[in-house]
Structure formats: C-alpha cells, structure tokens
A and B are shown apart, each in its own frame.
Chain A
Amino acid sequence: MKVELRHIHKHFGPVHANNDITLSIPAGTIQGLLGENGAGKSTLMKILSGFLRADSGEILLDDRRVIIRSPADAIRHGIGMLHQDPLDFPPLRVIDNFLLGQQAKGIFLQRNQALEAFQRLAQQYDFSLDPFAYVENLTVGERQQLEILRLLWLGVRVLILDEPTTGISAAQKQKLFATLRRLAEEGRTVIFVSHKLEEVEELCHRVAVLRAGRLVGEMHPPYDTRKLVEMMFGREIQAAPRASFAASIPVLRLQQMTLEDVRLRMTAVDLDVHAGETIGLAGMEGSGQDLFLRACAGLVRPVAGRVLVGEQDLTGKAYHAYKRAGVEFLPAARLEEGLVPGLTLSEHFLLVSERQGFFLQRAYAQRLAEEQIALYNIKGRPHSPVESLSGGNQQRALLALLRQPLSLLLLEHPTRGLDVESSIYIWSLLKERCRQGTAILFISSDLEEILQYSDRVLVFFSGKVSPPLEASALSVEELGGLIGGKGWEKFGVQRES
C-alpha cells in the first residue's frame, strides 16, 4: 500500500516534534527512517499508527485521504506498528496474545481457527513458536515474531517497526530482515525506524533522515555513510580512542558461583575483577548475562559459591549491603527501575545525598542539582520531573546519581536507545570513573560497543560462560560466532554445564 504523509505538524508544549514533514512511500518498499534521539521519528510513526493525532497535515493511503483516530482505526486501515518494547501480555499464552485485537465474532474465542491460522503463518514465515508457551518465557526476538504474525493475521499492509533490532540476537535479526524483505516482495510497505546506520543501509530500499523535527533529506542506494551521519547530526562524530585503566587490585571475586533461574543454570564461575578495568558481558538476550550481572549486585542470590567485594564476603547479602561496600547497579529500564517518575532532578539528588538530616535543605538541593546538571551536561532544570527528560538525559542523570567513589559499577545496556553522540559522552564519563579506580561490568547487545570499551570480555551462551577474553585480540566476527554458540570447543569442557 502506498503511504503519503503531507505537511505533518505536531507540537508538545513548546517542542515542535514534527515540523512540516512530507514523505511519500510507494508500495512494496522498505523505507528507512533515521534520526538521533528526539529527532521526531517515533512521533511521526505514532501519528501514522493512530497513537497520536497530528496538529495539522494529511495522511493518504493509496491516494485516498484518511483520518486515523486510534490504533484500532489504524489496523482497520491496514497499518500496524511493532513497538520498541513489545506491547503484549506476558502472563498469557502465545495463542491468546495472537487472538487479542481480533474483531470479535460472537462471545466465545475461536481458538481452533486461530491456532490453524497461527501455525500456517508461522510456517509460512519460518518462525518456530510454541503456541501454548507463556509469553513471559519468550525472548524479545520471539515476542517480536509473535507480534508480526498477529499483525499479519489482522491484515496489515503497512508494517512500522520502531528500533526492532534492539535486544534481539544476530540470528533473530537475520531472520527478521529476511521476513521484512519477503513482506516487501509481497507488496506490503515496511517502515524501519532506527538509528543504526549499518542496518538501515543493509536492509532499506530508501532512507529518510529526520533532525530536530524536520525531514532533512532522503537517499537511495548506494548509500554514502558519511553523508547520512552528517544529515543526522549536522556534523561528523569521532569515538574516543581506547583507554585502559586496569590495575591489579581485585574489587570483586567470584568463587565457584552457581546461578539458577527458570530457564538456565550457570555452574561454578570463577572471576577476579580488578580496579579500573572494564569487562563487557556479551551474549544473546537471556543467555545468563543479566542473571550474572544481578548476582554481582546481590539482586540475585547464588545457589552455591561465594561473592567477595574487596575483602568482604557478601554472599547471600541484600543489594544494600553491596551498596555500602561501594557497588552500584544501573538498570536498563530507566523509568521503571532507575528513576522515580514524578520526582524532580533535585529531589533525586537529595534522595541519594549522603548528608541526610531530618529536614530537607532546599537551597542545598538546588545547588547540588545545578552542580550535577552542569557536570554531567544534563539538558534539564533542577525542578524538571525526570520523566520529562529524553532518554539520553535520563541516562546522564542516573550516572550523576552514582556515589563517588565507587569500587564496582554494574551497568545494563548503558547506551541502549541513545544516539551516537550521547553514547560517546556517557562512555567518557564512565571511563573517567575507571581512571579513578572503579571497575565496570556492563551488558550490551552492541558488539562494537563491547569491543571498543572493554578490557576483557565474557561471552554467555545458554548458561555457559567463556573464560575472560582479551578484547584487543577479538574481532567482531569471532565474538559474533561465540554469541551464536560457535567456537566454544577451544575453551575445553570444564565450563560445560
């Protein structure tokens, strides 16, 4: 289906999120939509998929003017959106999620019919999903596949994907790309929203770039990467050179640590983490690295083995004991686990302040917040509620909330969803911590980030952990192979579970 957006405007208070955007997408194409955080990509797509109404402008589908009032309305027009965080129902089974959103025919669920359709579609697109599994046990990639099948069953002819490769494995990504190509061949229109240049260049038939609410340019293959970057940021970006601050003082020692959750078991892991070093944890989502990182913070209790922070044995202690020993954990879900929506920046700084008496000192809070805002280059004011900040600024705020000094910092996806410039800035702050002796363990699904910033790398594959690998001696291909389960023979059998 041909999609046309004409002169779309959208304001959020003083922010002009979409400024006169006109874009025409022919049927059967994969359209890339590039732009840094806050460029207006998501807003534009939410307008097209009925989550938001434009202030002015028109939407035409196959040259017919339409008004899209709600997401259900968008589906009726054949437009479906796959959100960055899957909008599904984890406590329900796959098949019941599949059924949701279907026009009701009578009172009773037509499960058998749905099951047939589900299995036919799954086979057609080569997805192996168990219709009776619970969604909470699926990986992000599998949940994405489920959502694609559901939207296809609803008869969607325009599929919008918002940052769909975040948090899925390399293999799942390849399968997703193959599926999207196939959908385009069948005459459907695919809109692929991303800030990952490489993926857009690999997949898309054409690319449009947004910056600060405006459409700044379009490009067809062959793509000129430098030009795309320039359009996105208005200038070129250079990553900081590698730096290592590893010393020989151990800050964290894991001795024969064994972890377990419903899906996997990780047996007898030994690791010494040294002051100032950075260790990247690589692996497909759900391979055990999240469990491992949380165990280092006392948020998951090991079933066997010991965890020592400095000289203290903190095995089985709660997170707050780890915190007192100089350990901090930064979750990936910034507004769900990291910050308190409804409180301001300065209230957050007060909350973690070490100078807590009985009464609040507002003047002190104001001064403290202004200092930190300047120091961490946060775009916000002391009285800004944290939920009003952009993702990158929320991440900076989280970093600003960390105590000084720290012996160990544990990060989940520290730059997920951030643009290149913010990522580089965040890492410069983190490396400054390393220089002061903080050791960093971080999870990332971005292999280049892992290789760029780590001294050593641990690879996780379905509960197995590799020995620490020197990052400088590792290539992206090699690392990618290990994540996908290839090349493990050379580590011997002692780590097999």
Chain B
Amino acid sequence: MKREQIGLSLGLRLLAILLALLFTVMVLLLSGAPPLEAFRQIVLGAFGSYKRFTDVLVSWVPLLLVSSGLLITFTAGVGDIGIEGQITLGAIATTWALRLLQDSTLPPALSLLLATLAGMLGGAIWALLAGALKTFGGVNEIFGGLGLNFVATALTLWLIFGPWKRPGIGSMSGTEPFPQALWLPVLPGLRLSLWALVPGLLAWGMVFLLLSNTYFGLRLKAVGKNLRAAYLLGVPTWQHMMLAFLLCGALGGLAGSFQVTAVYHRLIPAISSGYGYLGLLVAMLVNFQTLWVAPVAFFFAALNLGSIQLPIVLKLDSSLSGVIQGVLVLFVLLLDGVRRRMERG
C-alpha cells in the first residue's frame, strides 16, 4: 500500500468514528439527554476507578477470544454466525464437567482445567456441526449458525429448568452456584481473574501468528479468497474450512467456559451475554487486521461497562452502548465502500 492510500484509509476511519459520535449525539438530543454528560458518564463508568477498569478487562477477555476466533473463519471466507451457540455450549460443557467433578476427590485446579478443556471441546463440536452443515450439507453458514444458536439457547433453558434445576424450583437466576474452590481465583477485591486474562491474550497472539506467519494461515487465506483455485493448487480445502470452524468454536467455547468459572460460577440463561454478536462486530470492524482486535475489543468492552452507569445517573437505557457500537461498524463499512469507489476512480 502506498503512503497516500494509508493516509486516506486512516482519515476515513477517523471520519467514521466522528460520524458515529455525531449520530449518537443526535440520538441523545432526540431523547432529551445532555450528550456531553452522557459521554462523561460512560468514560467515568469505564475508567472512573481502578475497580471499574478491571471490570472492563473482565468483559474484554471473552470479546478478545471470540473476535480472534472469528478472524480465523473470516479468513477462510465464512462468517461463523453460530459463535453465540458455541459460547453457550462451552459454558454448558464446563458446567457439566464441574457438576461431575465437584464431588470427586480431584484437586480443584485439575477439575477446573478439565472443565475448561471440556468447554473448548463443547464449543468446537458445536462449530463443527455448523461447519459440516456448510461443507457437506450445502447449508449456508448464516442459516446453520443461527439455527444452532436457537438450539443452544433452548438447551440452556431446558437444563436450567429441568435436569440441572436448583433444589426446589428452577429459576431464571440459573443453576446452583459452584463451591468457591471451583471458582477461578480473582485479584483481591476485584472480579478480574488473571487465569482468564492471560489465556485470552495468549489466544489473540497465537491467532495473529497463525494467520500472518504460518503455512496454515496462508492456505486458509487462499481458501477464503478463491476456494476453487485453492483446490486446484493442491490445498485440501474442506479440511481447512472445518479446521477454521473447529478453532473458532474452541475459542468461543473457552470464552463460555470462563463465563462460568470466572464470572457467574454457574450456568445462567443468558450465559453468552451477546459476546458472540459483539465479537462479529469487532471482527468486521478490524477487517482482517488481527492486531487491531485487542484495542477494538477493549473499546467495545469499555463502552459496555461505561453505559451501565447511564440508567442510574441519567435515566437513560444502557443499550446506548449498543447504538454506538452498531453505528460505528456501519459507518466504518460504509466509508470502506466509499474508499473502494474512490480508488477505482
């Protein structure tokens, strides 16, 4: 890329952020809220204290895992919409493993490790289902993934209100919490667990390395950009497609697993917390640049956490963060289209 192209691309990115902010200001004005105060509350909510900052990191971890995983399938030319279900299945598999192991004599650390692996396996299997539907059944990955997401949600509810219900009566608050020994250790006085943060960062780094510096990554790119030519050039195409799904599902499953072991300590109905869809937004926004996943995911996590303040202080709905995130993605994609038109001349 030439310097002026990079400049143009950067300028348009900044413009997109500006437009997204402008649009949000309009939404705020229309709903009769003071925009500056709202933004101040979001920043305060995310960074107002050390504790809040670490809370941002807590939701950064699943986003980081999910977005990194999604970049693998994006590179192979498919969007893994089923990621929500894969997070959920990761959480279910971890809960299942912990339920089995909580009464055993195994040391808690080993139980946690096994439960985490079970979570990754659960996510991977759910992703392989979507991948197999796509590769062998000819089912569009969007339809297959969405279908599997609904099945995963239904499965969660059935487990919470059925076989895994609390003694007495099942409730929306989820299954019986696990004993504290089976919680991932957190920093004193905080909700952040380094046992989740470090694997999250490692996964991101490994995906970066995988996509930019390995033969596997190169072959995946070839599959994503031209399946037919990749096959004729000798790349085992369906195997790579399935591997991409598998890796993405394993990372999604890991995110779901941490939701259980590090955050909620039980299975709750909304265990995926929408991180899958938010991860899709992040993956779209970074446009195949794996390095950007971390800052963008961090920014999204900060928006999410920051906007929790809004209903309390300004009587605004906290979904404002979703508005900002969605609008930002739309403007970036829009201006990307504008850039391509300009380059074509």
Tally chain B residues at the interface, Cβ within 8 Å.
21
Residue of B nearest to A342 (CB): B225
Enumerate A324-344 residues with CB–CB distance to B below 8 Å: 329, 331, 336-343
Q: Contact at B222–A343, with CB atoms within 8 Å?
A: yes
Binds B, one of A274-282, A352-360, A454-462: A352-360
Q: A196 at the A/B interface (Cβ < 8 Å)?
A: no
Q: A320 and B215 in contact (CB under 8 A), knowing A336-B229, A337-B229, A340-B230? A: no
Q: B218 at the A/B interface (Cβ < 8 Å)?
A: yes
> Measured between C-beta atoms, what is the minimum distance from A305 to chain B in Å?
24
Q: B266 at the A/B interface (Cβ < 8 Å)?
A: no
Enumerate B330-345 residues with CB–CB distance to A below 8 Å: 345
Q: Contact at A337–B236, with CB atoms within 8 Å?
A: no
Q: B233 at the A/B interface (Cβ < 8 Å)?
A: yes
Q: Contact at A358–B216, with CB atoms within 8 Å?
A: yes
A352 CA to B225 CA in the complex, in Å? 16
> Measured between C-beta atoms, what is the minimum distance from B296 to chain A in Å?
22
Q: A133 at the A/B interface (Cβ < 8 Å)?
A: no
Residue of B nearest to A10 (CB): B345
- Interface bin, chain A: 20 to 34
Q: B228 at the A/B interface (Cβ < 8 Å)?
A: yes
Q: B265 at the A/B interface (Cβ < 8 Å)?
A: no
Q: A329 and B232 in contact (CB under 8 A), knowing A339-B226, A357-B215, A358-B215? A: yes
Name 13 A/B residue pairs within 8 A (Cβ), A-sorted.
Answer: A12-B345, A336-B226, A340-B226, A340-B233, A343-B221, A347-B218, A350-B215, A350-B218, A351-B222, A352-B234, A356-B215, A360-B215, A401-B233
Residues of A within 8 A of B (CB): 12, 319-320, 323, 329, 331, 336-343, 347-348, 350-352, 356-360, 401
Q: Write out, one digit per residue, whether chain B residues 274-285 have a CB within 8 A of any chain A CB (1) or not (0).
A: 000000000000
Q: B132 at the A/B interface (Cβ < 8 Å)?
A: no
> Measured between C-beta atoms, what is the minimum distance from A326 to chain B in Å?
12
Q: Contact at B213–A359, with CB atoms within 8 Å?
A: yes
Most buried by A among B216, B226, B228: B226
Q: A340 and B234 in contact (CB under 8 A), knowing A351-B218, A358-B216? A: no
A357 CA to B236 CA in the complex, in Å? 16
Of B218, B226, B234, B345, which is within 8 A of A323 by CB? B234
- 14 further A-B contacts with Cβ under 8 Å, apart from A351-B219, A359-B214, are A12-B345, A336-B226, A336-B229, A340-B225, A341-B225, A343-B218, A347-B222, A351-B233, A351-B235, A358-B216, A359-B213, A360-B215, A360-B218, A401-B233
Enumerate B214-260 residues with CB–CB distance to A below 8 Å: 214-219, 221-222, 225-226, 228-236
A278 CA to B48 CA in the complex, in Å? 77
Q: Contact at B229–A342, with CB atoms within 8 Å?
A: no
A341 CA to B215 CA in the complex, in Å? 18
